[in-house]
Amino acid sequence: MAATPARTPAEQALAARYPAERTSLPGTADVIAIRDAAFGGIEKTGLPHRRVEDWKYTDLRARLKTFPPAAGPADVARVLIARPAMEGDKARRLVVANGRYRPELSDLENLEDGLAVFSLAKALEAGDAAVLAALKLDEATAANTAVALNTAFMTDGLVITVADGAVVERPVEIVHIAEGEPAASTAVRHLVTVGRGAKLTLIETVESLDTVAHHSNIMTVIEAGEEADVDHIRLQLEPDEAVSMTTLVARIGRQATFDTFNAALGAGLARAQVFAEFVGRDAEAGFRGITMLSGRRHADTTLSLIHGAENCRSRELYKAVIDDEARSAFAGRIAVPAFAQKTDARMMTASLLLSEEAEAYAKPELEIFADDVQCGHGATCGAINEDLLFYLLSRGIAKAEAESMLILAFLGEAIDEIQDQAVHDALIHRVEAWLKTRASARKAGEPAA
């Protein structure tokens, strides 16, 4: 008989928090029932550890030292000063501060025809039937620990709908900001519905004004209707102290085009999950991302894609750059049911190790039951190519700069797939800043911070 493991401090904190908060969290009795079910699952199993396959590389039980209290309201003035809305901002900015949507900090002027934005908390309070229906998830997704924590503790988020045929040219950017000390937790859920033939570019940035151990848990559910065109990009920029969990759930309709890109540039412990499914035939999707790690940071990208319709095409490309004693993990799984003939899927992950102590783990999986498909996967892992480096050095370029050029080239293959030019350039700028920090640390003969 296995002994019941003792609860970790994080599990104890969770067990204390939920009963105290459940009735003050937004939502009707129906919502509370959904939260109870989600939390019940966590209570039963505890936090996942390395013997739970989905968390093999990211042992939450060992890595989560605490589970901080819920974040209080953000200091709006401080958020405004730190992240002022800029005249001529290309994207329409919607601010979520400390887990709460702040319309007064958001740009809601001249909403395009067909675009609607409202607060999840209000919809939960009102018992909005469509929103309650959208909280329903398949069993496996609902039971995922990051998802269940989000369901149990979600305080707010955005409900964004784009009506059939509406083409929203201006990108919508959700800015998540954690503000204040001491460390606190936030859980945010966004529900995004893009109607038939509609178009939306959705950018998410996740950041913190304070270098404390905030926990953020952000979940975005996107329903891409038939012939819809959806581009989703997330820039995760939290400080090294932070714990970050993000989940994207996407359902992709017939003949839709869907792209998602995750830039994991921050947080000491980061887990980015994607659960996607093709629900209509002849659709196309791209799943891509980059991870840049230094110090002792740990980042995990977990992708599960169900090619659940005929003649759908997908491309998966994840690249990681790992320095110092950092650790990156990628687990990607593509399932092709027997009826999903003519599926075309290519999954690739590549890791560039910049130090002797850096670690990369890759677990690509294909589960194919159809016989007329083209599916492939690949994983590579290695150091900077010495021949390329020598060529650059032989032209006078200093080593640190030459390495930066090669690292940028390595990541560029993924970054260059980002269609939105402003986001593409902003990300390149971030990557260059990261490389510059590394290069100057190298020059000073110290490990990169």
Partner 1 sequence: MLEIKNLHAKIGDREILKGLDLTVRPGEVHAIMGPNGAGKSTLSYILAGKDDYEVTEGEVLLNGESILDLEPNERSVAGLFLAFQYPIEIPGVATMTFLKAALNAHRKARGEAELTTPEFMKRVKTVAEKLNISSEMLKRPVNVGFSGGEKKRAEIMQMALLQPSICILDETDSGLDIDALKVVAEGVNALRSPDRAFVVITHYQRLLDHIVPDIVHVLSDGRIVRTGGPELALDLEKNGYAAYVADAAA
The residues that touch partner 1, with contacts defined as CB under 8 A, are 387-388, 390-399, 401-402, 405-406, 408-410, 412-413
* Smallest separation, CB 418 to partner 1 (Å): 15
Nearest approach in angstroms of CB 361 to partner 1 is 24
Q: Give the CA dihedral 276, 263, 154, 302, nearest 10 degrees.
A: 40
Structure tokens at 255: 């003949």
117's tokens: 């934005």
206 is written with which tokens? 């996740």
With respect to partner 1, which residue has the nearer C-beta, 167 or 388? 388
Nearer to partner 1, 82 or 409 (CB): 409
Q: Which two tokens stand for residue 20?
A: 């105290």
- Of 216, 44, 38, which is closest to residue 135 (Cα–Cα)? 38
Task: For partner 1, give the closer residue by CB, 80 or 406.
Answer: 406
Q: State the nearest-atom distance from the C-beta of 302 to partner 1, in Å.
A: 27
Which two three-digit tokens encode residue 192?
């995004």
Cβ closest to partner 1, residue 356 vs residue 387: 387
Closer CB to partner 1, residue 212 or residue 406? Answer: 406
Nearer to partner 1, 194 or 402 (CB): 402
In terms of Cα–Cα distance, which of 431, 318, 335 is closest to 380? 318
- The whole-angstrom separation of Cα 150 and Cα 135 is 11
What are the strands, taking DSSP E only, across 51-198?
Answer: 92-97, 100-101, 115-119, 158-162, 172-178, 185-194
The token duo for 392 is 């650059």
State which residue, 365 or 416, has the beta carbon closest to partner 1: 416
Dihedral pair phi/psi, residue 290, rounded to 5°: -130, 150
Residue 129 or residue 409: which is nearer to partner 1 going by CB? Answer: 409
Which CB, 52 or 381, lies closer to partner 1?
381
- Least Å distance, CB 394 to partner 1, is 5
Q: Which residues pair with 96 in a beta bridge?
A: 101, 176
**Min. distance of Cβ 417 from partner 1 in angstroms?**
13
Hey, what are 430's tokens?
Answer: 């971030």
Cβ-based nearer residue to partner 1, 88 or 396: 396
Which pair of tokens denotes residue 47? 């936090």
- What's the min distance (Å) between Cβ of 402 and partner 1? 8
For 112-129, b where at least 16 C-beta lie within 10 A, e where not — what string? bebbebbbbbebbeeebe
Task: Give dist(CA 120, CA 157) in Å, integer.
Answer: 5
In whole angstroms, the minimum distance from the beta carbon of 345 to partner 1 comes to: 24
- Is there a contact between 308 and 338 (Cβ–Cβ < 8 Å)? no
Q: Which residue intervals of 308-420 are DSSP H helices?
A: 386-393, 399-415
Residue 377 C-beta: closest distance to partner 1, Å:
21
3-state helix, strand, coil in the chain (%, to 5): 25, 35, 35
Report the nearest approach of partner 1 to the CB of residue 350 (Å). 12
Q: What's the closest the beta carbon of residue 4 comes to partner 1, in angstroms?
A: 52
Residue closer to partner 1 by CB (options 314, 404) is 404
Instruction: Name which of 136 and 395 has its Cβ closer to partner 1.
Output: 395
> 18: burial class by Cβ within 10 Å (0-12, 13-18, 19+)?
buried
To partner 1, the closest distance from the beta carbon of 401 in angstroms equals 6
Would you state the torsion angle of the CA atoms of residues 434, 380, 366, 202, taken in this order, to the nearest 10 degrees?
A: 20
Burial class (CB in 10 A: 0-12, 13-18, 19+), 318: buried
Residue 234's DSSP bridge partners are: 204, 262
Least spacing, CB of residue 153 vs partner 1, in Å: 42
Rounded CA-CA distance 157/111 in Å is 18
